[in-house]
Structure 1
Amino acid sequence: MESLTGENKIHDLMDGEDISIAFQAVDTATGVPMSGLRPAVWIDTKASSGTSKTDGGMAMTCKEKISQFLQGSLAYQPEIDLTSYFILVMNDRPSITVLNPQLGMYVSKTVTTIPLKAPGKDWVLTRDTKKLFVTLPKVNQVAVTDTANWKVMQNLAVAENPVRIAMQPDEKYLWVGNDGPAGPLLFSGVTVIDPSGLQVVAKIETGRGHHVIDFSDDSAFAFVTNQDEGTVSVIDVPGLRKVKDVRTGEMPVSAAFSSRAKALYVVHEKDGKVVAVDGKRQEITATLDLQPGIRTIRFSPDGRWGFVLNHKENLVHVLDVSVNRVLHTVQVEPGPDQVGFSATYAYVRSLGSSQVNALQLSLIEKMEKLPVVKIPIGQDAPGHANQIGLTRVITPTPEFDVVLIANPADRNVYYYMEGMLAPMGTFQNYPGEPQGILVVDRSLKETKPGFYSSVLRLPHSGVFDVAFLMESPRLYHCFEISVKPNPAIPRKVHVPLTIEFLTQERNIRVGTPFSLKMRVKDTLSGKAVKDLQDLTALLVLMPGTSQSRIPVEPSQDGVYQVELLAAEPGYYKVFFESPSRDALMHKMPHLNLNATK
């Protein structure tokens, strides 16, 4: 393991710095690197007893620790898990839910909830997935979240009504679309942000209306649609200045840049035209006449196939950019509004149906009529939700041939393995209706044959256990690392907390409020911790079939009280967290309750 400083020098490991971790797998008999493996690594704080965790006060062996991590218990989570990925769900209320799909089948998948100052509208992750940027139109800000600890680190003030957000390919600048009517006192255009320094570097007025933003693949130009003016503004990125307005047609509602064609394709809902704008000359090079009602365009991962959705005529047009013509037109369910991609399929969601249509990319050139696979995603059509988001609700995962699809109408995220007739699993999103989903991948990557690495940030100083597991060939190993306090980081010491449950009863009645009293203490002095304002209880009906979050209210002298209500008979677990004290659920004691009628 190496600590990477700004000068790329190696020194002692320190908290708060980027740490490079790498493992090399070599066949000892032949010396040949072993490729295609999926090593699992967990990093956890070593307790003062000399072990990373204890089980009933007994020290655990390396094999036992790994076995606990593999079970995926919410009460037994490592500090850093390099085997997993996380699902981020943007809610219709001011929050983001963090789900861990690899937690055990009998526990809640919710890791935490990130509170926001206002409901989010659009978001983007950095390529290394360390920062998440979320637009908050109601407060004219962009929330910046650190995905290492799932906390908002800053709220950046931007121009009025920030809606769309996009990162240019080289990640030098982050662009925010500010929707509004142009005028002497009103701004409609883009705010440009330095994502490293988290500072606004420019505000560029473009034109009236909603803005969609995309870029040339060399990051030389940014393209901004102006819906009310029927134009696309071309911005020179190095100079941060508008160089041209290209009049493309009435009501440009969607745009996407094709890396294959080196052109921006603009969709116009009112007149049904798709216009191609050359990425270097900024001139219209092709126009396709389709029917009014087209609203969405997205390109396949290789930039070859453009998918244009007509929400009015219920059509999907597949565009071949090599010849600028429509190759297929597919009839789908009412109101197609989103298309997402895996490596092999395009998935089309329709607001008027609970079915998603899957189109195999490899058959586009081969088949005269493109076959459609219909996948049921819940029982209710997405259009029945209270609100429909702008962000994507279909995304691939690091798992082979697995995609996630969110349905805001039933508040679920569905786990679909390609080739199956229906989803294989469901993740419930209790806080609200999902407006969009993203994946944060924490797993090790094979960067060269037999060499598996990742970059991470250790949350604090101390001694850590590193547990390594490889399934085939079967191999496990644990070792220690020591992390020193970083003198460059101001210290805000959070003493670990524990809970003393004062209420002894563990059997409760369905439908009758159960008052649970507890005392919160710090683990070093044993003294009571008073006035925690963000202590929350998570009541989970096992095996994770329902859950509810309830604020825990401070009473007196470090005593807290929460009213729990079991809606149906069963076995319940109660988890606790206080984010302000870095006391997350897997670090705090939990409680078991049995509810009967």
Structure 2
Amino acid sequence: MRVLPEFPSSSLIACSRCFLRLPIGANRSVQTYTAPIDPMKCVVSSLLGSLVALLSVLPASFAAPFPPIQEKDGVTVAFESSETIRVGETAFLYFRISDSVTTQPIRGLRPESSIRRNDAEGALGSCAAKMKVETRRFGSHTPVQVNSHIVALNSLDGSLSVIDPGRRSLMFRKKIELDGPGNDIVLPWLGQYIYVTVEPNTLVVVDGVQMDVAHRLTVGAQPHHLVSQPDRKYVWVGNDGDASVSVIATDTHRVIATIPVGRGHHELAVTEDSRYVAVTNQDEDTVTVISVRHLLSVGTISVGKRPHGIAYGPLSRSFYVANEGDGTVTVIDLAKGRVTDTIPTGRGVRTIRFNNQGQLAYALNRVANTATIIDSTTNTAIDTIRTGVAPDDIVFEYDWAFIRNAGSADVTIVSLNHSGLFQNFPVGHREPNQVDLPQGHTSLVSFGDGHNVLVPNPTDGAVYQLMAGGVVGPSRVFDTKGRGPTRAVVYWRGLREVNPGAYRRALTFEHPGRYEIGLYISSPELATCFELTVLPAVK
């Protein structure tokens, strides 16, 4: 008798005239028992029985080209997607990544994903190889750039420009009309929605997946500065025209409170635990402190003349207020509810930001063209460095500080590890303050990859990319095709860690069919693929 592969259990195949039994024993043999003979039916039954048993023991990679759960080199990846995916609807893709031995989720990864339509039958190995090539073909471009959109606010023509930096050409994707001059833009950390203040009294909410306007909310008069809480629960709007702040719930996109504050321009800062918000009242020389839990003011504190910028120091648990009118920084101890220190910096101080460690604050002086460094553990100025003309904004990328200068067409890059090491690098052809900017502000934004920053230049209609580490001049230039780009955010289109070890991506499909979903992790290195089917849109 012919020897067949061993099966995990007995299988009984029956037809009307023939019975075939496939018992499993140590001899791995097949024995047949016949009833009244119908040869053709016996053959068919026998073949079907063998096929069923064989499929039950084949490896998953043979049973399906892209199994939903895969294990490689000690890492297990389970793929899930929305139950039904149709063209034009938002789909959610989930990758649950864990240690194959301990089953513990692997956190803190930045996996890359690729989408490729393939209606033909694919092979797991070839798809994974293509995934590696695809993620590496961009050369020096980081995964963040490949999986992100730059959204630039064109303040002068009231629009948003959407740019795809992962492309080699035709990077401009679309323009979103705001129906009014834009003042500020904010994107909560790993959020889906982008918020823009628009004159005279509107907050525009843009869906980052669709890259289109989702809501238009009525807020106070002359809305300007925006801030998002670290816990992403609320977005706060400073209304310069009617002495109030508006509070927007990010889950419902509704204005849930309007809180009275002082008169004048408002800048806002939030504590790291999202419990308190502080608001500067420029025309009254005060700061209003608001309880997030109760959405009520808990005190108004007098500070220096013409308070403008404000920042929260997590180590000292204090707010630091830059007073443009008298050249001081006021320290408000949150626990004591009062001013505890006043630090002289020179007239013209306007913007203040903390470094990533939360110890050192940089106070930028537009009159003296300097940055004063304040140690929050002692509340003293420990150094002053020269900048370009009229320094206006600052961001930090690991070992470097980038300072945007409004009065000169350059950015001052400062080493955080070597005192006195700084240099001005040209960005664009004309200084930003040649055009009428909202509150005279320029801006910078971190790319989110630890190496690059984006510098909008309203006079050039472009956004420049600068790299940390001493590269002279911008490494890339993005045309916004708009007038007066003043601010920008980086919308991460790739996978986001929504729970420990669970990474999600939201996207829409333009065409029905079968798609390969590639996944690549650089460390531990893993490249693999999954599949899903997209159905036509419902008519």
Q: CA RMSD in A?
A: 3.6
1:394 aligns with 2:452: no
Q: Which residue of 1 aligns with 2:83?
A: 12
Pair 286,39 (structure 1): closer, same or farther in 2 beyond 3 Å? closer
Higher relative contact order (CA 8 A, sep 6+): 2
165-174 or 469-478, which deviates more: 469-478
- Structure 1, unmatched stretches of 5+, are 3-8, 53-59, 73-80, 181-186, 486-490, 494-597
1:89 aligns with 2:162: no
Q: Deviations over 1:250-301 (max 9, x none)?
A: 1111111111221110111111121011123321111112221111111112
Q: Which residue of 1 aligns with 2:468?
A: 418
Matches within 5 A, 1:111-510: 111-138=173-200, 140-180=201-241, 187-363=242-418, 367=419, 370-387=420-437, 393-419=443-469, 420-444=471-495, 453-458=503-508, 462-468=512-518, 470=520, 477-482=528-533, 493=539
The TM-score, its normalising length taken from structure 1, stands at 0.67
Greater C-alpha Rg: 2
The TM-score, its normalising length taken from structure 2, stands at 0.74
Q: Deviations over 1:298-355 (max 9, x none)?
A: 1112211111111111111011111101111112222111212212211112222222
Match for residue 114 of structure 2 among 42, 48, 56: 42
Pair 115,67 (structure 1): closer, same or farther in 2 beyond 3 Å? farther
Pair 18,166 (structure 1): closer, same or farther in 2 beyond 3 Å? farther
Q: C-alpha distance in 2, partners of 1:471/1:259?
A: 33
Q: Deviations over 1:108-144 (max 9, x none)?
A: 2101111112121111112223000111122x11000
Pair 362,51 (structure 1): closer, same or farther in 2 beyond 3 Å? same
Q: C-alpha distance in 1, partners of 2:426/2:82?
A: 53
Q: C-alpha distance in 1, partners of 2:454/2:137?
A: 22
Tell whether the 8 Å contact from 1:465 to 1:481 is kept in structure 2 after alignment: yes
Tell whether the 8 Å contact from 1:353 to 1:382 is kept in structure 2 after alignment: yes
Pair 151,10 (structure 1): closer, same or farther in 2 beyond 3 Å? closer
Q: C-alpha distance in 1, partners of 2:519/2:85?
A: 25
Pair 415,452 (structure 1): closer, same or farther in 2 beyond 3 Å? farther
Between structures 1 and 2, the one with greater helix share: 2
How far is 1:69 from its partner? Answer: 9.1
Q: Deviations over 1:401-452 (max 9, x none)?
A: 2222222222222222222122222122222221111111223468999x68
Tell whether the 8 Å contact from 1:258 to 1:303 is kept in structure 2 after alignment: yes
Pair 38,316 (structure 1): closer, same or farther in 2 beyond 3 Å? closer
Q: Deviations over 1:443-493 (max 9, x none)?
A: 3468999x68333244589544134264979976544213579xxxxx874
For 1:21, give the aligned amino acid: Y
Aligned pairs, number: 449
How far is 1:217 from its partner? Answer: 2.0
Q: C-alpha distance in 2, partners of 1:458/1:40?
A: 17
Tell whether the 8 Å contact from 1:85 to 1:398 is kept in structure 2 after alignment: no
Task: Report the identity percentage.
Answer: 29
SS of the counterpart of 1:122? strand
Q: Deviations over 1:341-383 (max 9, x none)?
A: 21221111222222211112233xxx4xx22122221232222
Pair 348,398 (structure 1): closer, same or farther in 2 beyond 3 Å? closer
Q: C-alpha distance in 2, partners of 1:37/1:216?
A: 27
Q: Which residue of 2 aligns with 1:553?
A: none
For 1:109, give the aligned amino acid: M
Q: Deviations over 1:373-400 (max 9, x none)?
A: 2222123222233536766632222435
For 2:324, give the aligned amino acid: E
Pair 442,344 (structure 1): closer, same or farther in 2 beyond 3 Å? farther
